Amino acid sequence: MGLENLLLGFSIAVTPFNLFVAVVGIALGTIIGVLPGLGGANGVAILLPLTFTMPPTSAIILLTSLYWGALFGGAITSILFNIPGEPWSVATTFDGYPLARQGQGGQALTAAFTSSFVGALFSIVLITLFAPLLAEIALRFGPPEFFAIQLLTFSSFVGLGGGNPLKSLVSILLGFILAAVGLDIVTGQLRMTFGITDLMKGFDFIIAVIGLFGIGEILLSVEEGLTFRGAATGMNLKVVLQTWKILPRYARTFVRGAFIGFWMGFKPGGATPASFMSYAFAKRFSKHPERFGKGELEGVVAPETAAHAAGVAAILPMITLGIPGSPTAAVMLGGLIIWGLQPGPLLFTEKPDFVWGLIASMYTGNIIGVLMVLAGVPFFAAILRIPFAILTPLIVVVCAVGAYAVHSSMIDVWYMMIFGVVGYVFKKLDYPLAPLVLALVLGDLAENALRQSLIMSQGSLTVFFTRPIACVITVAALFFLFMPILTPWWRRLRGLPPTPGAPAEA
Amino acid sequence: MTRTADLVTAALLLLIGLIAVFDSLRLGAGWGSDGPKSGFFPFWLGTLLIAVTVAIAVQAWRRGPGKPFVTREQLRPVMQVLWPAVAMVGLTVVVGLYVASALYLAFYMRWVGRHRWLTVALISIGIPVVTFLVFEQWFLVPMPKGPLEAWLGY
């Protein structure tokens, strides 16, 4: 039965138009991933308005392809320029950049792309198998279960996100408060608008994404004195084939990375810890741990496999539960709503062509993607050689165009600028931005789930513990939430220093 | 100093928390006839935000002044991007997005990058034209337009 659905999906994904859309998406996505200030999330946000007139399946294929492209593009800048475009590319720079400096850039890039592809494929197969099951279970979920999942989503940012847990909590709370601004659909009352008409619509998270990640990031990179000194690519067919001959040696690293990536990735904020964890494991089990950090190919394979597996796994909760696992998935979720689809478990029964088209396009998109980036590295690397005095204003203009296009409203462009400054300050003070965006997206959903749960129980919080599924999820959520308090205590109990070393070990 | 920046940010966030609590109390933060009132959720969010920002402020205070938050040399390029960008958004209302972005691109490229006038002209005119073709013509997403576009008949 599953196979039938997948075949249906392929019949949709492999039409000439959708393949064309995938190619365009990957090309644009890779460019976006290479450019500073434009990553997966805001790239998807800026292009979202262009999909309004497209059929939903083609639209989601465009956006997901963009995402795969951005994930591939991150590896190019990490290896050749030592600039991690996204936090989960940081671990790739440890060995990728030294390799490139030693003239092994082609080898490192081939390994990175191949690992990304393997990691992604692993997650896609698991999604194909488990998404329908999860959706079926989720059909039986009531408001308490959904609220518990939301709680789990946000507490995993606090517990697993790294950094200061209090600051993660602030980002979440701020996101929820901003989401509450405007009309309360349940009671019809206006909240926190203070008579200002422009506030009645509330804050759109897509604008927040463009501002926080786009403008904020560009401000940060000009501050650091944007100079790209790239290593030579050294990429040709011979290098690719030679590297492919070596790669099977790292089979265990691939499998481990893919498992870590998928396991961490379907929970929010998981891609970054997954990449570091996979790197640390590869180093620990390696026969030559001393070579790590100096240009060991396995040190590229491990984080890339995990990061890409995690990036793909973030799609799973989005399509089955309607709860995104990453800011990029959140923007896609926003897209679903704009295209007139109701995200959540019902999607599988009501729009099978959409869901299976999407899943099948994940296979085709990643196959096209890996071939395109392998062939196109010199072109994509050349983008970073464009002078920054041209790139910087260009990115600002692209962000402004994208922000305006969402609602054709000028106030949104101003909000984008404000969010840009906020993003810059938050980034400098280590407030994480992803939980803020996710809270802004999920605000209304979470609040409604909480309200309905409380109505069911006449206002008692025990409703989250008396229902078995809700109870398990709530307990897990509370565990993650209090993990930052429990960890030092637990470590002291075992006679270890209270704070663990940097997760990177490098 | 980073501590000052941390404290100022915490204070602003605290203010947001206070606004949320204050407005929620106006709407009613308790139990209404048909479930939690409008202010229920924001009230608890605000309360928690106040508590957490106070904790962050205490943390920051204890940690000491730290590195400078931003040096003059770092701030200069940031402002070079920011102010012209604000000016561009302001100009958009008057002359439309295409002209405003062309002016912004040209200004930044010439002022910061000191590129040749030919490069400046080609890129600052080329980019808005491409944007126009992609958004306005191909995907039918309209952008704010001004007198120039009106004169050209759009």
- The domain segmentation of chain A, as residue ranges, is 2-488
List, as ranges, residues 414-473 from A with C-beta within 8 Å of B.
414, 417, 421, 424-426, 428-429, 431, 447, 450-452, 454-455, 459
| B29 and B79 co-located in one domain | no
> Angle, nearest 10°, between helix axes A410-428 and A216-223?
50
Query: Of B38, B45, B78, which is closest to A187 when you measure between CB atoms?
Result: B38
Alpha carbons A319 and A124: distance in angstroms, whole number:
13
Q: Is B19 helix (H, G, I), strand (E, B) or coil?
A: helix
Query: Among A19, A114, A56, which residue's Cα sits nearest to residue A354?
Result: A56
3-state DSSP assignment of residue A251: helix
Residue B93 sits at the chain A interface (C-beta within 8 Å): yes
Residue (of B134, B115, B132) closest to A386 by Cα position? B115
- Is B51 part of the contact surface with chain A (CB cutoff 8 Å)? no
Residues B40 and B90 in one domain: no
Joined together, the tokens standing for residue B131 give: 């944007």
What pLDDT does residue A501 have?
42
Give contacts of B55 with chain A, Cβ < 8 Å: 166
The answer to whether A184 faces chain B, any CB pair under 8 Å, is yes
CB A147 within 8 A of CB A477: no
- Chain B residues whose CB is inside 8 A of the A389 CB are 108-109, 112-115
User: Is the minimum CB–CB distance between A367 and chain B shorter than 8 Å?
Assistant: no
Nearest residue on chain B to A414, judged by CA atoms?
B89
Rounded Cα–Cα distance for residues A367 and A376 (Å): 14
Does residue A488 or residue B51 have the better pLDDT? B51
A227 near B CB under 8 A: no
**Are B39 and A191 a contacting pair at CB < 8 A?**
yes
B86 shares a domain with B30 = no
Q: What are phi and psi of B35, to 5 degrees?
A: 110, -170
Contact A417 B86 (CB under 8 A): yes
What digits encode the pLDDT tens for the residues B77-104?
889 889 999 999 999 988 989 999 999 9
Residue in chain A lying closest to B45 (CA) = A173
**Separation of alpha carbons B78 and A478, rounded Å:** 40
Which pLDDT value is given to residue A506?
A: 30
List the one residue out of A450, A377, A293 whose CA is nearest residue A27. A377
Q: Domain range for residue B113?
A: 72-152
Q: How many Å lie between the alpha carbon of A348 and the closest alpha carbon of chain B?
A: 29
Q: Where are the alpha helices (DSSP H) in A182-296?
A: 205-209, 216-223, 237-246, 251-265, 271-285
pLDDT of residue A227: 61
Does B99 share its domain with B58? no
Q: Each residue of B53-80: pLDDT tens digit?
A: 999 999 888 887 778 888 888 888 889 8
Q: Which two tokens stand for residue B40?
A: 């229920």
State the pLDDT at residue A162. 67
Distance CA A255, CA A266 (A): 17
Q: Which helix (H) or strand (E) holds B44?
A: helix B40-63
Residue in A169, A404, A428 nearest the CB of B143: A404
- Residue B150's Cβ-count burial label (10 Å; 0-12, 13-18, 19+) is exposed
Amino acid at B5: A
Alpha helices by DSSP H, A384-461? 388-407, 410-428, 434-456
Residues B59 and B94 in one domain: no
CB within 8 Å: B113 and A176: no
Q: Are residues B35 and B102 in the same domain?
A: no
**What gap in Å lies between CA A419 and CA A261, rounded to an integer?**
31
Cα separation, B23 vs A244, in Å, equals: 61
| pLDDT score recorded for residue A201 | 81
Nearest chain B CA: its distance from A194 CA (Å) = 9
User: In total, how many domains does chain B have?
Assistant: 2
10 Å CB burial of residue A129 (0-12, 13-18, 19+) is exposed
Q: Output the six-digit token pair for B44.
A: 């608890």
The Cα B105–Cα A31 span in angstroms is 20
Asked if A170's CB is within 8 angstroms of B13's CB, the reply is yes
Residue B32 parent element (H or E): strand B31-32
Q: Are A210 and B49 in contact (CB under 8 A)?
A: no
Q: Is B83 in CB contact (< 8 Å) with chain A?
A: no
Q: Is A49 on the interface with B (CB under 8 A)?
A: yes
Partners of residue A191 on adjacent β-strands: A182
Our CA-based measurement puts residue B28 at a distance from the nearest CA of chain A, in whole angstroms, of 11
Q: Is the Cβ pair B41, A189 closer than 8 Å?
A: no
pLDDT the model gives residue A253:
85
For residue A189, the tally of other CB atoms under 10 A from its CB is 15
Helix (H) or strand (E) holding B35: strand B35-36
One-letter amino acid for residue B1 of the chain: M
Contact state of A192 with B88 under an 8 Å Cβ cutoff: no
Alpha-carbon gap: B132 to the closest alpha carbon of chain A (Å) = 10
Type and span of the H or E element at A56: helix A56-81
Q: Which of A218, A389, A414 sits opposite B89 (nearest CB)?
A: A414
Are A52 and B112 a contacting pair at CB < 8 A? no
Number of H helices, E strands in chain B: 6, 2
Whats the size of chain A, residue-wise? Answer: 506
What is the C-alpha to C-alpha distance for residues A466 and A449, in angstroms, rounded to an integer?
Answer: 16
pLDDT given for residue B103 in this prediction = 93
Interface size A-B, in CB pairs within 8 Å, comes to 174
Inter-chain touch A451–B41, beta carbons under 8 Å: yes
* 10-residue averages of pLDDT along chain A (506 residues): 77 86 91 77 84 86 89 84 75 86 84 90 90 85 86 81 84 92 81 80 85 86 69 72 82 86 76 83 83 84 90 86 82 84 83 87 90 84 79 88 87 93 91 86 84 83 84 86 80 64 36
**One domain for residues B107 and B48:** no
CB–CB contact A49 B139 (8 Å): yes
With an 8 Å Cβ cutoff, are A413 and B105 in contact? no
A185 to chain B, any CB pair closer than 8 A? The answer is no
* CB of A274 less than 8 A from some CB of B: no
Q: What is the ipTM of this complex?
A: 0.92
